[in-house]
Amino acid sequence: MIKFDDSQFEDIIPTAILTAYPRTFSNITYSKQIFEGIRTYYETIDENLIVDRLAVELEARSKLIDRLLAETGSTQIIEFASGFSSRGIAMAEFNPDIQYVEIDLPKMADVKRKVLGNITSIPHNLHIVGGNALRKADFDKVCDYFDADEQVTIVNEGLLRYLTFDEKAIVAKNIRTILEKFGGVWISGDGGTKAFRNNQNKAMPEINTTILHKTGRNTIGNAFESQDHFKKFFGELGFSVEFHSYTEIQDELTSPKALGLTQDEVRDKLLAYASAMVFRLKKA
Ligand SMILES: C[S@@+](CC[C@H](N)C(=O)[O-])C[C@H]1O[C@@H](n2cnc3c(N)ncnc32)[C@H](O)[C@@H]1O
């Protein structure tokens, strides 16, 4: 049994800035306003967290998850490790029948509420909750927002890569208990293998070293070897895994033009080997 508390994960919080900035090159709703809000909130931002070339990967990740989430038709959503993502506010404003719950560490959730609250009024159907994805009770407590007869879709972008394999397994088990209760699927943007990390290192040589120094978390050491490794690991935890390459959404990206990148560069240097995943509970 792994013992943990929130403080062990708080060094990961700055990566929410690393992923919020590149979205300003895209047309993702509220991205620019949120980043202005981040700049206002923090007196200084480490310049190593400002990486333009991440824009393509992060726009693709966000839009591919949006598409997979739309395909579920789900109106009950949990997004954990939500950081400064604008998906929750955009979806909750667009559809008042949705219940959208974000879970992130309490220190991050507090900043998110402030930054978002300065941009727009937070609607009644968006709940920004302080919690830890490794703590089952933190998932259980948000179930009160949901109708027991409706399925729940669980979403995340970009936490698994920071976690050790033991930590990933704890998160997966927590998700499994929610899906066993409500039905539904888990959609994750975090399907990059070691091949993806190696490719990313070629395009952005500093990125994984910066992350290691900032967070103390080794994204290369914590990466899956291959898609088969993903399938075996999560298969043993009761899930089947469906992969969707980030290139599936390449046609909808706006950041390549903003950065002056060719479609070949985008496909081969920035999106190759990256996948989103849809996890379903295996039938007993
Ligand atoms: C790379 S950021 C991704 C943020 C957002 N999903 C995005 O794509 O912009 C990682 C996020 O994981 C959050 N986080 C770290 N450890 C966590 C934990 N144990 N439980 C929940 N969230 C956590 C951080 O606070 C941060 O917001």
- Reported as a single tens digit per residue, the pLDDT across 119-149 is 999 999 999 999 999 999 999 999 999 999 9
H or E, element range at 96: none
- Averaged pLDDT, 76-95: 98
Query: How many whole angstroms separate alpha carbon 188 and alpha carbon 279?
Result: 8
Query: Which percentage of the chain shows pLDDT scores above 70?
Result: 100
In this prediction, residue 3 has a pLDDT band, given cuts at 50, 70 and 90, of confident
Query: How many whole angstroms separate alpha carbon 26 and alpha carbon 32?
Result: 9
Instruction: Answer whether 38 contacts ligand 1 (Cβ < 6 A).
Output: no
Instruction: Answer whether 83 contacts ligand 1 (Cβ < 6 A).
Output: yes
Instruction: Count CA atoms within 13 Å of residue 90 on its CB side.
Output: 15
- Confidence (pLDDT) at 201: 85
Name the token pair of 63.
């839009």
Least confident of 56-70, 97-111, 194-208: 194-208
Does pLDDT of 246 surpass 80? yes
Query: 227 CA distance to ligand 1 centroid (A)?
Result: 23
- Confidence (pLDDT) at 133: 98
Q: What would the pLDDT profile of 162-189 be if each residue is shown by its tens digit?
A: 999 999 999 999 999 999 999 999 999 9
Backbone angles phi, psi at 104, to 5 degrees: -145, 170
Query: 83 CA distance to ligand 1 centroid (A)?
Result: 5
Query: How many whole angstroms separate alpha carbon 25 and alpha carbon 209?
Result: 23
Q: Which atom of ligand 1 is nearest to the CA of 82?
A: 6
Say which residue the tokens 């202005």 belong to: 36
Identity of the residue numbered 260: G
- Confidence (pLDDT) at 283: 84
In this prediction, residue 27 has a pLDDT band, given cuts at 50, 70 and 90, of very high
Backbone angles phi, psi at 185, to 5 degrees: -135, 165
In this prediction, residue 54 has a pLDDT band, given cuts at 50, 70 and 90, of very high
pTM, full prediction = 0.97
Instruction: Answer whether 271 contacts ligand 1 (Cβ < 6 A).
Output: no
H helical segments located in 118-249: 136-142, 165-182, 194-203, 207-215, 227-236
- Averaged pLDDT, 21-46: 97
Does pLDDT of 197 surpass 90? no
Does pLDDT of 104 surpass 90? yes
**For residue 176, how many other CB atoms are within 10 A of its CB?**
19
**For residue 222, how many other CB atoms are within 10 A of its CB?**
16
Query: 64 CA distance to ligand 1 centroid (A)?
Result: 18
Q: How far apart are the first and last CA of the chain?
A: 25
Query: C-alpha distances in angstroms, 238 versus 8, 64, 94, 187, 244?
Result: 27, 24, 34, 15, 20
Query: C-alpha distances in angstroms, 108 versus 15, 36, 48, 59, 156?
Result: 11, 17, 20, 21, 15
- For the chain, the structural domain boundaries read 8-281
Query: C-alpha distances in angstroms, 4 versus 57, 132, 167, 217, 231?
Result: 31, 10, 10, 15, 26
Kindly report the CATH number that applies to the domain delimited by 8-281: 3.40.50.150
Query: 103 CA distance to ligand 1 centroid (A)?
Result: 9
